[in-house]
Structure 1
Amino acid sequence: MTEESSDFKFNYFFGLVNLVAVFLIVWFLWYIFMNPNTVMKLYTPMYGFSLIVVFLSGIILMAKVLKWPAWYNRLFQKDKPITKGILLTIIAFLLMIGLNYIVFWGFIGKFGIAYFSPDSIVASGGIGAEPFVARENASTAIVYFFTAFLWMALFWDLGFGRWPWQNDTYGVQAWSKLFAILFFVVLFYILLFHSHVCYLFYPAQDKAAVTPWWEELAGTGSAFFSLGLILCTLVWIVFSDLLWEGKPWNRYEVDGESTFGKGFVVFFSTLTFGIILIFILLMIFNYVWMEPFVGGQYTDGPDWRYIHAGEIAGFFILAAFIWKNYFNNFPNLDSLWLRALIRSIIAVVLGLLIYWFYYSPLATFFLAKVEGFAQPGDTPLVWALLFLSIILVQSEFFDGWPLKRKK
């Protein structure tokens, strides 16, 4: 049995009810903030996409990097999950506002890299400097940066854990891990995304960035190639963390702590599996929609094929979190490998059901989206990551309340 199942009373029917409640909360938030026919209309789509990715990154930063929920429990009364949850959710929201509007729009974009700020892009003039287009391009860059952050943060938590600061104080561990992660985030952002952002403008900023190195390999210079690859890699990081209970990577631990060897193996193994997954998905797309070609529109575009692979990976990731949090990682058998295999199959099937829902008339009703694949301005990842954010708020900030209650 898992530790979770031994510490908490779990009711599967209540888990299903809780999932329905979370779905309704997500629908309400989507209706208010993202629905193009209602109040805020943030789903443009990249502007809303950037805000959701930054919000999710703030949650991951607090829960997986800085470990604030655990730190809060040590300092304060840990049997009051509602107070803790509300406080940490407010902090995550303020982090989203601060990072997006102050750090990137107001500081980095103003004093450093212009394409992170809509105002700086507009001030530079030229083609593509219209306010709406400028905001979309700046939001695209922010999405890419925080995608790299999510990858590195979740990988580091699984691979390196507290290494090499496991014998230091909480403060040293938290902030050292943060700065180490940020170093690699900047590095991978430059290598995987920066070139594409510079080529969003006309003329291309070829003195600031080289032609995307993956253009010949992928058949497109779009960073959707990198985005899809990272999300396919994250599938394996999330599956092995949530569904496989850290296996098989914990064999590289020493005295229960991660090592450099473990981190090295986790990074390259999950990256390899990510490459295999995206290759399989691309082959399936070729079977359904035929071969893509340069200049192809909608489903015929190579760039869309890569982002669609990432979108499917996003549904798999969402399914894994749903199964872990609302169905207690069923089944909890004695054989780890058997239960891990069954959970993984269930997560894939559930992810495909979510995929079906998103592209069905039901999503047209709930999300006010246009039916069909590759619709302009439609990015399923926004809804999937909003859903994932609410799940993480409940599980990490509210300690699973009201679903999980101590015996």
Structure 2
Amino acid sequence: MERYGEDYLEERKLVKRWPQPIPAIVALIFTLIIFYATWWIFQDPRGWMRLYTPYVGYMYTRWWLIVLIWMVYIFNYWPFKRSWLENAHPITKGIVLTAVSYVLLYILIKVFFEGLVGNFGLAYFNPEQLMKLPGVTEFFAIEYAALACLMFAALASWLSPAWIVACEGAPWQDMKQPWKGLSIWIVTFFLATLIYFMTMHSHMGILYYPWQYFTSIAPPYWEKFANTVSGNFHVSWIMCATVSVWMVETIWERWPFNLIKTSWLRRTVAFFGIIAIAFAMHFFLYFAQELTWGPAIRGTRRAFAPDWRWLHVGEMAVFFLVPALFITFYCGNWPKKFSIHVNVIIRTAMALGGAILLYYVYYKTAHLFLGTQKGFSHPQQFPMIPTIWLIDIWLVHHWFMDNWPGWKMVPKTAEEIAKDHEAKEAALREAREWNPSIGWGLGVGAISGVVIYFIVVYLLPVFYRAIDIL
């Protein structure tokens, strides 16, 4: 029976054409060239299509990410056959699969959201419907419709991979494509719709005056707690959840949840554990801004506004995701020679260091070559757009093009697949076995965590003064 792309990513062997770090450097240069060329064509306000309005560009960027996840993680490359995936040239695969993703993206935005939902359900998904309202200009109609789409996208970008990473595709993991993918897609899309109405719909209900009391909760229920009526409060933790999912999937290799033997317990703990990690990140990064700039003041704008600070939490989280993916895609999840616990700690530290460096470089230089505006909180400064656009490029390069030209894809033999599986199981068995060194490690880790926390709290204002672009 045709397997399509099931387990393709796990059963391919990417052979480096040159010793490291040459392949990683080549991949970085190659993808950055594609990134900047496509950014100029599609996004840059000085370029051709100028989608960076910013919400229109953000909408397409985020939904392209989700379409890529659907194609690879949920539908396992269906309907493309395994033989084609293994034998087609990486450039051919990249062009064909990317073209398919763009067609799906266009249908999703123009047919489903604007055409179907916007005309027969919720007017704010369709700019033409919004322009019928008194006082709504074409620009704001387009921006509001794009905002609604990308708020839905935030949920889909978390739930779609979470069902695979945390829940392991259960209970449909043994079904064949396309029924497996369709089942997971329907459930995650339903959950995204349900949570959208509980987290984002009220935000859309207050964008038009008078507030839409009859069709939404106005003011929203989170107003007093979050000190804002903006849905950015939810965008923040949902973005942190998205980053947490991929952190668990990539540099953590699903640790520590894979240490749980019982399947249903492992999946449940993983799903809600990722949410717990997200909320910890969500509140700490907001607290970090309070330490740096002082308390948020409701009624103000830009850096002191609570709604922007919640948004910036999500932006900071994405800066962490970029180096984490680079470590996995192009550095082979280095290091691997230690225990899984130590490997995860080292990779996390590397990703954190990379995030800080990227954050600094971005805010110092992005306005010089991306067409964005200088400043943390300028209305035209949305770092999630270029960072996620780069991630989209990396996903295409890694999933569709097998890291070409720095690597060559060779299918693993049955013996190699079995050997990899045995090695993975052996590493898990070793990690699950309790020994005194784990206890010492937990103790030292807890103490180190407290020390690092106070060091970070002390250094945050110093770090932000070094950027000094407010």
Q: TM-score if structure 2 supplies the norm length? A: 0.81
> In the alignment, what sits opposite 1:219?
227
Report the AA paired with residue 247 of structure 1: W
Deviation of 1:166 (Å): 2.7
- Specify the code of the residue in structure 2 equivalent to 1:159: A
- Farther-moved stretch of structure 1 (144-153 vs 36-45): 36-45
- Residue 157 (structure 2) aligns with: 150
Of residues 284, 305, 315 in structure 2, which corresponds to 1:311?
A: 315
Number of the residue aligned with 1:24: 33
Contact 2:12–2:409, Cα closer than 8 Å, also in 1 = no
The aligned amino acid for 2:286 is: L
Instruction: Decide which moves more: 294-303 or 332-341.
Output: 332-341
Distance 2:285 2:11 in 1: 34
Q: Is the 8 A contact 1:315 1:384 kept in 2?
A: yes
Q: What is the distance in 2 between the residues matched to 1:346 and 1:163?
A: 32
What SS is found at the alignment partner of 1:72? coil
Q: Indicate the residue corresponding to 1:377 in structure 2.
A: 380
- Rounded to whole Å, the distance in 2 between the matches of 1:330 and 1:46 is 36
Is 2:190 aligned against 1:183? yes
- In the TM superposition, residue 400 of structure 1 has moved relative to its aligned partner by 2.4
Larger radius of gyration: 2
- The alpha carbon displacement at 1:201 in A equals 0.9
Query: Quick one: which amino acid aligns to residue 364 of structure 1?
Result: H
The runs of 5 or more residues in structure 1 that have no matched partner are none
Residue from 171, 174, 179 that aligns with 1:172: 179
- Whole-Å Cα distance in 1 between the matches of residues 359 and 214 of structure 2? 41
Deviation at 1:406, TM superposition (A): 4.0
Determine the C-alpha separation between the residues in 2 that align with 1:77 and 1:394. 14
- Name the structure 1 match of 2:391: 388
Once the two structures are superposed, the pairs formed by residues 252-263 of structure 1 within 5 Å of their partners are: 252=260, 259-263=263-267
| Structure 2 residue aligned with 1:9 | 15
Aligned CA distance change for structure 1 residues 168 and 253 (closer, same or farther; 3 Å)? farther
SS in 2 for 1:244: coil
Kept in 1, the 8 Å contact 2:124–2:130? The answer is: yes
Cα distance in structure 2, aligned partners of 1:180 and 1:4 = 25
Is the contact made by 1:5 and 1:328 (CA closer than 8 Å) also made in structure 2?
A: no
Question: Is the Cα contact below 8 Å between 2:235 and 2:314 reproduced in 1?
Answer: yes
Q: CA deviation at 1:26?
A: 1.0
Distance 1:209 1:370 in 2: 34
Q: How many Å apart are 1:323 and its aligned residue?
A: 1.5
Are the counterparts in 1 of residues 373 and 380 from structure 2 also a CA contact under 8 Å?
no
Match of 2:86?
78
One-letter amino acid matched to 1:162: G
Q: Tell whether the 8 Å contact from 2:372 to 2:380 is kept in structure 1 after alignment.
A: no
The separation in 2 between residues aligned to 1:86 and 1:154, in whole angstroms, is: 24
Unaligned runs of 5+ in 2: 1-8, 411-470
Separation (CA, whole Å) in 1 of partners of 2:85 and 2:61: 30
1:85-127, Cα deviation, whole Å (9 max, x unpaired): 221110101111111112111121011110000001112x223
Q: In angstroms, what is the RMSD of aligned CA positions?
A: 1.9
Confirm or deny that 1:277 pairs with 2:286.
no
Go from structure 1 to structure 2 and tell me whether the alpha carbon gap of 1:77 and 1:283 turns closer, same or farther (over 3 Å shift).
closer
Contact preservation (8 Å) 1:122, 1:130 = yes
Distance 2:85 2:275 in 1: 40
Q: Deviations over 1:367-394 (max 9, x none)?
A: 1222111012221111111001000011
Q: Distance in 1 between matches of 2:222 and 2:118?
A: 26
For 1:111 and 1:372, locate their aligned partners in 2 and report how far apart those are by CA, in whole Å. Answer: 40
The residue correspondences of 1:281-360 to structure 2 (distance < 5 A) are 281-360=285-364
Match of 1:7, SS?
Answer: strand
Contact 1:36 1:43 in 2 (8 A): yes
Alignment of 1:51-200 (within 5 A): 51-68=60-77, 72-74=80-82, 76=84, 78-80=86-88, 81-123=90-132, 125-127=133-135, 129-200=136-207
Task: Give distance in 1, aligned partners of 2:380 and 2:212.
Answer: 25
1:5, 1:363 → 2: CA distance? 38
AA in 2 matched with 1:220: T
Q: CA–CA distance in 2 between the matches of 1:262 and 1:290?
A: 40
Count of aligned pairs between the two proteins: 397
Q: Is the 8 A contact 1:12 1:326 kept in 2?
A: no
Query: TM-score, normalised on structure 1?
Result: 0.93
Equivalent residue, structure 1, for 2:424: none
Aligned to 2:417: none
1:248 aligns with 2:252: no
Deviations 1:56-96 (A, max 9, x none): 11111111111116x63425351223322221110101111
Measure the CA separation in 1 of the matches of 2:358 and 2:81. Answer: 34
Distance 1:190 1:310 in 2: 20
Distance 1:136 1:77 in 2: 38
Could you say which residue in structure 1 is the equivalent of 2:403?
Answer: 400
State the distance in 1 between where 2:11 and 2:290 align.
43
Answer yes or no: is the 8 Å Cα contact 2:27–2:404 preserved in 1: no
